[in-house]
Amino acid sequence: MIKYAFEKLFILCVLVIFFSACGNEKKLVYFQKGNNLQDSISIAEAYIPKIQAGDILSIYVSSITPEASIYFNPYSSGGGSTSSGGSGNGNSSTGAGQSSVPGYLVDRSGKIEVPVIGVVKAGGLTTSQLADTLKVLLKPYLTNPIVSVRFLNFKILVLGEVARPDVYNIPNEMISLTDAIGMAGDLTVTGRRDSIQIIREVNGKKEFGYVNLGDRALFSSPYYYLHAHDIVYVKPSKYKAQRNDRFLTYIPVGISLLSLIILISRK
C-alpha cells in the first residue's frame, strides 16, 4: 500500500513538471494574432539613414574619363587611412575584430573633405542626397560624373538572451528587428519575447522602445526597422532566474522519492 502511494506521488510530480513546461510553450511562439485578428498588417515605413558626425563614408567617383576620376578616389584601392582629420575603425563583419576602414570620416560639424573639391557639408543628408551634391560640385572637373556614397560603419549591437550577442555591420544599410534576431542566432529559450528593448539615440538623447515578438503589431512598430547604432537588448525571463532554484529543488526530491520507492520495492 505504501509502495503504491509513493509511486502515485512520484508520477504526480513528473506530471506537474511536464505540464509546467508545456504551459510555457505558447510564450515561445512568434507573430501570434494577439489583439489584431487580421491576416495582413501594414509594415512600418522603411528607415532611410541620414549622415551624422562620426559616420564613415565610402565615396566612389567615376566618369567617361577614368584618368581624371582617379584623383577623386583616394581609397578605391583599399589603402590609406580615414579622411577628414582623423582615422576611423569599424568591424569587417561582426564585432569579433576591429580593422582600419578607409573612408571619409564625418567630423563634429558634419563635414568631410574631398580631394580637389574641398570641404563639403554631409551631415543631415542621405547618401543619395550627398551623391547628388557631389555630382554638381564635380561637373567643372569631370564629364557626366557618377557618384556612389555608402556607409562603412552602419552597425547595430545585439545583447542579452540570444545565441550570438555581438556587434553587426550592415552592408546594405537596412535591417529589420527580425533580421537582426536571425543574424544573432535567435533568442534563447530563456529570453523574453514579449519585451524586446530597442535603445536608440535621437537628437543626442537615448530613446527606449519595446517590441513584443509574440504580437503581429511589431511589423508596424517604429522600432521594426533598426537605425544605425541601435542596441537590441533581450531580457532574461523570470523562468531563467527560477530555473536553477527549481532544478535544485526538484532533482533532490525526485532522487529521494526514487530511492525510497526502490527501497520499499525490495522489501
Residue 190 backbone phi and psi in degrees, to 5: -95, 5
pTM > 0.75: no
Residue 252 backbone phi and psi in degrees, to 5: -60, -40
Contact assessment for residue 190 and residue 161, using Cβ atoms and an 8 Å cutoff: yes
Distances (CA, A) of 227 to 110, 143, 230, 233: 18, 36, 6, 14
Q: Quickly count: other Cβ atoms within 10 Å of residue 229's Cβ.
A: 18
State the pLDDT at residue 30: 85
For the ranges 27-41, 86-100, 184-198, 245-259, the one whose mean pLDDT is highest: 184-198
Q: Write the pLDDT tens digit of every residue in 83-133.
A: 444 333 333 344 444 445 689 999 999 999 999 999 999 999 999 999 999
Residue 78 has pLDDT above 90, yes or no: no
The amino acid at 197: Q
Mean pLDDT on 54-66: 94
* C-alpha to C-alpha distance for 51 and 61, rounded to whole angstroms: 19
Residue 194 neighbours by CB under 8 Å, 6+ apart: 27, 212, 213, 214
Higher pLDDT, 39 or 100: 39
State the pLDDT at residue 227: 96
Residue 59 neighbours by CB under 8 Å, 6+ apart: 72, 73, 103, 104, 112, 114, 134, 147, 148, 149
Higher pLDDT, 80 or 164: 164
CA proximity to 179, closest of 213, 140, 139, 207? 213
* Domains in the chain with CATH codes: 27-47+154-238 (3.10.560.10), 56-151 (3.30.1950.10)
CA proximity to 91, closest of 150, 157, 47, 148? 157
